[in-house]
């Protein structure tokens, strides 16, 4: 597949023939991607298509079996972790810590973390700084984890299923937080299977199926060329694939 | 990043240990107080003995808890959901492991120091009040220095520190190996523990053979201690490094967070 973006000065991330397998299951097969700065990109696919695996590889939580990933000119490591802000699909904060302690923790480790912004967002959420993680509902935890990620002035934000498992009001809040809080020259990579909810904020879409990139186009191109929403086109593309 | 990680890890450990150290302080004071009362007035012997029993139990539990805490912190922080936070911090794998190891060793050393200090304080009074005839030389440091020599005491201290590091890294390695198994990570850790323990015992048996040849008079083993201790130190360093490199490799290349 021809790389979608070719302007090298704007490139934040490249994946070159990346493969990853787990116990003979090919989670990713020859994934080649180029992502530019300043875009909101949807990484779309069904459960098990390889979205989380790709995000983990980008964040250095996994090592590719083959191929190479470069972020800002570096392979995943200490240097890329300084510029990549990651929201995993898991509760990753210690249950005994308060919101304030967690914000202080982030401020201590990330030089690009904006504590003032984090506390402002906390106030908007009506979350008290002294509230412990274990006292928070699932929705509150999701919001807190998101605000921590979006309070960093990162070059690449990787959000793994940020709107899965929460109510519609929380989903709207999460999407508006993403749009209003990332810097314009940063890239946001959002993985989700809830395409309808997210497609209106996307600049580009990547379709992933069984670890393979099926498509990487701008959101407008998909809609204009096919005269349908991204969600409808996604269903169309995957309907034609045997055993999908 | 190492110092930041160390700071946060120490804070996390202290929230468990400080309450227990406070309890140790009060149980020590209580046992000493009751022992004096019994010693002077010959009253409350039953309560004194009961508290003494509880005190011994608290020492064992505090010591065991510290080891469990060290293992728990590594597992919780690196192998569960918290691993997503720790392994995406802009810190090297070396910094992550060394901060955990340093905090673990400090926790164990401080706990055992406090336990021995408590035993030393209690030993002077309880031995008389419960009519135990403990020779006071066993509490005298100078007695050990005279027997073993200051050089061997130094070697022993190094060996104890290395033993703590080695044992801690052994637990970490078992947990690291276990997490590579997608299903039943805890069972994987247990299997790794049994397998590695067996290997270590075989290695120790093989290592004893040349020592057995070297020691011509087993009844006078203390006379060989100036040779044995450096050999044990070198062996411990070697195994510690192997364990550390194994943990580093697994966490850097074979991490398998759920």
Higher pLDDT, B227 or A130: A130
- For residue A189, give the 3-state DSSP assignment: strand
B3–A contact, CB cutoff 8 A: no
Which is nearest to A206 in space by CA: A64, A62, A13, A7? A13
Q: What is the ipTM of this complex?
A: 0.90
- Chain A positions touching B4 (Cβ under 8 A) are 108-109
The mean pLDDT value for B90-110 works out to 97
User: What SS3 state is found at B40?
Assistant: helix
CB contact (8 A) between residue A93 and residue B82: yes
How is residue A228 annotated by DSSP? Answer: S
Residues of A in contact with B180 (CB under 8 A): none
Do residues A181 and A151 lie in contact, with contact meaning Cβ atoms separated by under 8 Å? Answer: yes
Percentage with pLDDT > 70 across chain B: 87
What residues contact residue A229 under an 8 Å CB cut-off, 6+ apart? A196, A199, A223
Chain B contact for A112 (CB, 8 A cutoff): no
B84–A108: do the CB atoms touch at under 8 Å?
Answer: no
Q: Which of B9, B16, B18, B90 to mutate to test the interface with A (most CBs of A within 10 A)?
A: B90
B90 vs A contacts (CB less than 8 Å): 78-79, 81-82, 109-110
CB atoms within 10 A of CB B110: 15
Query: Which pLDDT value is given to residue B229?
Result: 84
SS3 A163: coil
Q: Give me the phi and psi of A14, to 5 degrees please.
A: -130, 140
CB contact under 8 A, A61 and B90: no
Out of A21-25, A99-103, B135-139, B252-256, pick the least confident.
B135-139
Contacting residues of B for A92, CB less than 8 Å apart: 81-85
- Torsion angle of alpha carbons B172, B175, B177, B180, nearest 10°? -130
Domains identified in chain A and CATH numbers = 8-239 (3.40.50.300)
- Closest-CA residue of chain A to B91: A78
Nearest to A109 among B4, B82, B255 (CB): B4
Contacts of A146 in chain B (CB under 8 A): none
Distance CA B20, CA A46 (A): 49
Q: What angle do CA A95, A96, A102 make, to 5 degrees?
A: 80
The whole-number mean pLDDT for each consecutive block of 10 residues of chain A, a chain of 244 residues, reads 57 95 89 94 90 95 95 95 94 92 96 94 88 89 91 94 82 85 87 88 92 93 92 83 50
Contacts of A94 in chain B (CB under 8 A): 12, 82
pLDDT of residue B143: 63
Q: Would you call B257 an interface residue with chain A, using a CB distance cutoff of 8 Å?
A: yes
What tens digit of pLDDT does each residue of A27-38 get? 999 999 999 999
Tally A–B CB contacts below 8 A.
53
Quote the CA–CA distance of B213 and A227 in Å, as a whole number.
Answer: 87
Q: What average pLDDT does chain B have? A: 86
How many angstroms separate the CA of residue B115 from the nearest CA in chain A? 28
Q: Is A54:A212 a contact under the CB 8 Å cutoff?
A: no
Interface test with B, best of A21, A52, A58, A61 (most B CBs within 10 A): A61
B82 touches chain A (CB under 8 A): yes
CB of B87 less than 8 A from some CB of A: yes
Cα distance between residue A61 and residue B253, in whole Å: 9
Q: Would an 8 Å CB–CB cutoff place A72 in contact with chain B?
A: no
Residues of A in contact with B73 (CB under 8 A): none
**pLDDT over 60 at B167, yes or no:** yes
The structure's pTM equals 0.89
In whole angstroms, give the CA distance from residue B160 to residue B108: 11
Which residues, 6+ apart, have CB-to-CB distance to B72 below 8 Å?
none
């Amino acid at each position: 597949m021809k790389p979608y973006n070719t302007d090298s000065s704007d490139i934040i991330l490249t994946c070159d023939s990346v493969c990853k397998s787990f116990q003979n299951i090919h989670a990713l097969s020859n994934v080649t991607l180029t992502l530019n700065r300043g875009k909101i990109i949807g990484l779309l696919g069904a459960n098990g298509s390889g979205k989380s695996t790709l995000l983990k590889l980008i964040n250095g939580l996994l090592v590719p079996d083959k191929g190479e990933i470069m972020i800002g000119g570096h392979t995943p490591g200490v240097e890329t972790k300084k510029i990549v802000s990651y929201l995993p699909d898991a509760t990753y904060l210690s249950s005994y810590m308060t919101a304030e302690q967690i914000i202080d923790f982030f401020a201590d480790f990330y030089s690009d973390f904006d504590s003032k912004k984090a506390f402002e967002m906390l106030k908007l959420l009506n979350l008290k700084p002294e509230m412990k993680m274990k006292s928070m509902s699932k929705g509150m935890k999701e919001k807190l984890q998101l605000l921590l990620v979006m309070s960093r002035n990162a070059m690449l934000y990787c959000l793994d299923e940020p709107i899965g498992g929460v109510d519609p009001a929380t989903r709207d809040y999460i999407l508006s937080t993403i749009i209003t809080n990332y810097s314009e020259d940063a890239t946001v990579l959002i993985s989700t299977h809830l395409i309808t909810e997210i497609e209106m904020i996307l600049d580009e879409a990547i379709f992933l199926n069984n670890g393979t990139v099926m498509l990487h186009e701008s959101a407008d191109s998909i809609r204009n060329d096919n005269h349908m929403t991204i969600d409808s086109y996604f269903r169309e593309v995957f309907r034609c694939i045997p055993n999908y | 990043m190492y110092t930041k990680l160390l700071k946060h890890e120490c804070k996390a450990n202290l929230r468990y240990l400080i309450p227990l150290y406070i309890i140790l302080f009060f149980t020590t004071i209580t046992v000493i107080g009751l022992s004096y009362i019994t010693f002077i007035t010959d009253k409350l012997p039953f309560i004194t003995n009961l508290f003494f029993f509880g005190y011994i139990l608290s020492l064992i539990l505090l010591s065991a808890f510290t080891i469990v805490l060290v293992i728990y912190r590594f597992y919780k922080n690196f192998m569960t959901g918290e691993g997503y936070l720790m392994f995406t911090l802009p810190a090297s794998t070396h910094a992550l492991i060394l901060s955990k190891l340093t905090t673990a060793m400090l926790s164990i050393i401080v706990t055992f120091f406090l336990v021995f200090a408590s035993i030393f304080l209690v030993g002077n009074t309880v031995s008389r009040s419960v009519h135990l005839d403990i020779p006071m030389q066993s509490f005298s440091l100078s007695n050990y220095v005279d027997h073993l020599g200051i050089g061997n005491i130094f070697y022993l201290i190094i060996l104890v520190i290395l033993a703590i590091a080695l044992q801690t890294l052994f637990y970490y390695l078992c947990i690291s190996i276990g997490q590579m198994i997608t299903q039943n990570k805890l069972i994987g850790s247990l299997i790794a523990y049994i397998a590695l323990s067996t290997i270590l015992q075989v290695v120790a048996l093989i290592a004893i053979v040349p020592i057995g040849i070297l020691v011509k008079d087993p009844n006078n083993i203390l006379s060989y201690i100036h040779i044995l201790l450096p050999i044990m130190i070198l062996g411990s360093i070697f195994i510690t490094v192997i364990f550390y490199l194994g943990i580093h490799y697994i966490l850097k290349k074979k991490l398998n967070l759920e």
